[in-house]
Structure 1
Amino acid sequence: MSATEVPLTITTKNVTATFKQNKELSSTVDEVLKAQGISWTVRTALKYTPMSLKVQLYTDDNGVEHLDIDQLLPAGIKSDEPRTFDFQFREKLSVVFGPVIARSKRVTIDEATQINGFLGQGWDEGCVKNGLFYAYARGDPSKPNGLEWESHQTFGFADVQIDEKQTERKYVVRLYFTAPGLEEGVEKRLVYDFVQEGI
């Protein structure tokens, strides 16, 4: 097993780990970031510098699941993405994306596919059994510096083709994104290598 492969002990029912983006296996998301108002300088840095994620799944005293994701971007920029799986809309002022309205829940593969076919593709047997993390977000143009865009994401684990002979289990994010400046919806896959358990 490769040091960058996610252990089978980590699933969508049990994940507290650190991951690092694999730029070679991930889609380019420049047009998405541009539509979200991200500056050329930051977008250029993101092209060449892998993002690190610290991911922690836990259940609160009321039995509601939470997925906290801390992102470390180039130039030391940090962005926290706390997700509460009760599918209630919440407003947030993101240091990266500005004013955002978002909600999250756990979904089955079939439910993800119904939202958008791309979101339900390619997941491993653990995700078939345990479900995926789903996050919906949109920009809030009613607020200062808010832009109009809409994002659907699924998070989970998948066997990703590394080369002609090898596949590795990775942490994967699938994104379906729309914005007025884009002629059609954009489908992107972000792939992350395993770094360590715990954060």
Structure 2
Amino acid sequence: MSTPSVPDSVNIHNLNGTYIMNKQLSDPFDAILTLQEVGWIVRQAAKFSSVSIKVEQADREDGINFVNITQTSSGGIRSTEERTMDWTWREKKDNIFGLVKGRSRFCKVDEIEDEYLTSELDKKSLEADGNEVVNSITESVDLAGDQWNATQVWGFEVIDGVRRHVRRILFTRGSEVHKLKTVYDWKEE
């Protein structure tokens, strides 16, 4: 069975749907989880579990876009990621990463400084989205020593002829720098 493309009706302002992480096309992320001080058992579960995300996105009454993502793994780990697209810092106690702060926004692709984060975005999808991407930053707050920072760009790439949702990540902690992407296949419902 072939992998379905993310429909053209799904875009940066309407990510609603369910996606399955494609671990064969995604970069390994164990080193990053280690730097985030995630325990070995959770890292192993993440490595060997299938992961799905359910994205619900809408404008709030005040007109600000809100993204709610429920991530579920076959290993039983479940987490919720909430993104308010107003570029305001918010703290959250995460059951995996501890106390973190983050902010998110829509921005023009040329506002992203690191070329890796935007290097393979699908031109047709970018054009349909007004050359906008989702840009988010998440940082640790209370770790001993250096804190970590994960800058993400969300968009779409065509990989093996299939349009897929992709998050490219620039991760730093102290002198450590990692660049990786996570690739999500569309799940038809």
TM-score (norm 2): 0.91
Structure 2 residue aligned with 1:152:
151
Please give the alpha-carbon distance, in whole angstroms, between the structure 2 residues aligned to 1:157 and 1:2.
Answer: 18
* Contact residue 65 and residue 85 of structure 1 kept, 8 A: yes
Change (3 A) 1:84 1:146: farther
* Contact residue 49 and residue 75 of structure 2 kept, 8 A: no
Please give the alpha-carbon distance, in whole angstroms, between the structure 2 residues aligned to 1:80 and 1:74.
Answer: 15
Please give the alpha-carbon distance, in whole angstroms, between the structure 1 residues aligned to 2:20 and 2:55.
Answer: 11
Q: Which runs of 4+ in 1 moved over 6 A?
A: none
Secondary structure of the structure 2 residue equivalent to 1:185:
strand
Q: Pick which of 17-26 and 50-59 moved more.
A: 50-59
Taking only aligned residues, the RMSD between alpha carbons, in angstroms, comes to: 1.9
Q: Shift in Å at residue 30 of structure 1?
A: 0.6
Please give the alpha-carbon distance, in whole angstroms, between the structure 2 residues aligned to 1:178 and 1:127.
Answer: 27
| CA deviation profile, 1:28-47 (whole Å, cap 9, x unmatched) | 00110011111111112222
* Contact residue 103 and residue 137 of structure 1 kept, 8 A: yes
Q: Shift in Å at residue 147 of structure 1?
A: 6.8
Please give the alpha-carbon distance, in whole angstroms, between the structure 1 residues aligned to 2:106 and 2:96.
Answer: 25
Change (3 A) 1:91 1:138: same
Please give the alpha-carbon distance, in whole angstroms, between the structure 2 residues aligned to 1:128 and 1:118.
Answer: 19
Identity of aligned residues (%): 31
TM-score (norm 1): 0.87
Change (3 A) 1:30 1:66: same
The unaligned stretches of length 5 or more in structure 1 are 162-166
Structure 2 residue aligned with 1:172:
166
Q: How many residues align?
A: 186
Structure 2 residue aligned with 1:189:
181
